[in-house]
Structure 1
Amino acid sequence: MSEASPIPHDAWCAWHPQELARRVSGVGRPWCVVGGWALDLWHGAETRPHEDIEFTVLREDFALFRQVLADFRFHAVGDGQVRPLRADEAPPSDIAQVWCEDVAAGCWRADMMLEDGTPETWIYKRDPSIRRLRTEMVQVTNDGIFYLAPEAVLLFKAKYRREKDEADFARAVPMLGKDRRRWLKACIAKAHPDHVWLAAL
Structure 2
Amino acid sequence: MRIDFSNWKPLTIREVNNIFSRISIYWGVAGGCALDMHLGRKTREHSDTDIVIFREDQQMVYQLLKNEWTLYKAKDGKLSLWLEGEYLDAVSDIWISRDNQSPWAFQIMLMDCEQGNWIYRREKTIKVSKEELFSTEENNVPYLKPAIQLLYKGGSSQIREKDFSDFQSVLPSLSLKEKEWLKEALKRQFPLGHSWMKSLED
Fold match (TM-score > 0.5): yes
Picking from 166, 184, 187, the partner of 2:185 is 187
3-state SS of 1:26 partner: coil
Structure-2 separation of matches of 1:38 and 1:119: 25
Deviation by residue 1:7-66 (Cα, 9 ceiling, x = unmatched): 611111111111101111111111111111110110111211111111111112112112
Paired AA for residue 198 in structure 2: A
Per-residue CA deviation, residues 110-159 of structure 1 (Å, 9 max, x unaligned), is 11111111594222121221111222221111212111110001111112
The reply to whether residue 82 of structure 1 matches residue 79 of structure 2 is: yes
Q: Aligned in 2, Cα 1:16/1:88: closer, same or farther, shift over 3 Å?
A: same
Out of 70, 75, 79, the residue aligned to residue 73 of structure 1 is 70
Aligned match of 1:171:
169
Q: Counterpart of 1:135?
A: 131
- One-letter code aligned to 2:102: G
Distance (Å, rounded) in 1 between the aligned partners of 2:129 and 2:61 = 22
Name the SS for the 2:187 alignment partner.
helix
> In the alignment, what sits opposite 2:10?
14
Structure 1 contact 33–146 (Cα < 8 Å) conserved: yes
Name the residue aligned to 2:199: 200
Please give the alpha-carbon distance, in whole angstroms, between the structure 2 residues aligned to 1:119 and 1:146: 22
For 2:177 and 2:61, how far apart are their aligned partners in 1? Answer: 33
> Are residues 1:152 and 2:151 paired?
no
Alpha carbons 1:7, 1:106 under 8 Å: kept:
no
Q: In structure 2, how many angstroms separate the alpha carbons of the residues matched to 1:136 and 1:42?
A: 15
Please say which of residues 115-124 and 62-71 is displaced more in the overlay: 115-124
With over 3 angstroms needed to count, the CA separation of the structure-2 counterparts of 1:140 and 1:15, relative to structure 1, is same
TM-score w.r.t. structure 2 length? Answer: 0.91
- In structure 1, give the amino acid aligned to 2:51: F
- Superposition map of 1:82-121 within 5 A: 82-91=79-88, 93-103=89-99, 106-117=102-113, 120-121=116-117
Task: Give the percent of matched residue pairs that are identical in Structure 1 and Structure 2.
Answer: 29
Distance 2:36 2:115 in 1: 24
Residue matched to 1:50: 46
1:117 aligned counterpart, secondary structure: strand
The unaligned stretches of length 5 or more in structure 2 are none
- 2:39 maps to a residue whose letter is H
